[in-house]
Amino acid sequence: QSALTQPASVSGSPGQSITISCTGTSSDVGGYNYVSWYQQNPGKAPKLMIYDVNNRPSGVSNRFSGSKSGNTASLTISGLQGEDEADYYCSSYTSSSTPNWVFGGGTKLTVL
Amino acid sequence: QVQLVESGGGVVQPGGSLRLSCAASGFTFNNYGMHWVRQAPGKGLEWVSFIRYDGSNKYYADSVKGRFTISGDNSKNTLYLQMNSLRPEDTAVYYCAKARGQLERRPFDYWGQGTLVTVSS
């Protein structure tokens, strides 16, 4: 069982927008603005898409955006494209015991 | 450009040991923290360990504490993970990842391609 809760799958048609939620606790998502999101294609390493809740690294499309409310963070992808089909993982820094990072179980995005 | 290349994975019997290496290039290695993250076959990501840019602090997931040791060699720009008392549940692809900063609260901004560790008799 993962520390953060994500839906197992989401889907959308090209051009639509989708949102993936990531629910934690006040010890992780709710307690810090250190939520990040990763895209992983089959057999590949994860790629950082969003960091510190709502910041995009250089080179990441502005179709990707992040937000947070309380203990739940969200990743929104607008103008869906076929290349967005992948697994997405959220992650949060936590210091509930010792400093460490927790991940969500991952969400499979299908572009219909 | 940033490159991280892991090596050292393989098949090992339960109770055995293995040392993973991660050769880094394209950035000033001793200016950034480094992580190890693993992914069991068909499963999600699990954070394993972190070392601060200067090696002053090291942190471990409870699942590996006391069995795994993270270290770095700034002269070789290389990160290591010494894994002892391996268990079947340690079977995973192990990724090294550069932190987006010096400290433990910074996320993973570049990842290696991963190295597979299989613990089986």
**Which tens digit of pLDDT belongs to each residue from A49-80?**
999 999 999 999 999 999 999 999 999 999 99
Spans in chain B with pLDDT lower than 50 = none
Tell me the two tokens of residue B49: 């360990």
B interface with A, Cβ–Cβ below 8 Å: 35, 37, 44-47, 50, 59-62, 95, 100, 104-114
- Is residue B12 within 8 A of residue B86, CB to CB? The reply is yes
Q: Do B47 and A38 touch (CB under 8 A)?
A: no
pLDDT tier for residue A26 given thresholds of 50, 70 and 90: very high
- How far away is chain A from the Cα of B25, in angstroms, using its nearest Cα? 17
Question: Which residues in chain A have their CB less than 8 angstroms from residue B59's CB?
Answer: 98-100
- Average pLDDT, integer, range A11-34: 95
Q: What are the distances in angstroms from CA B47 to CA A16, B20, B92?
A: 32, 15, 12
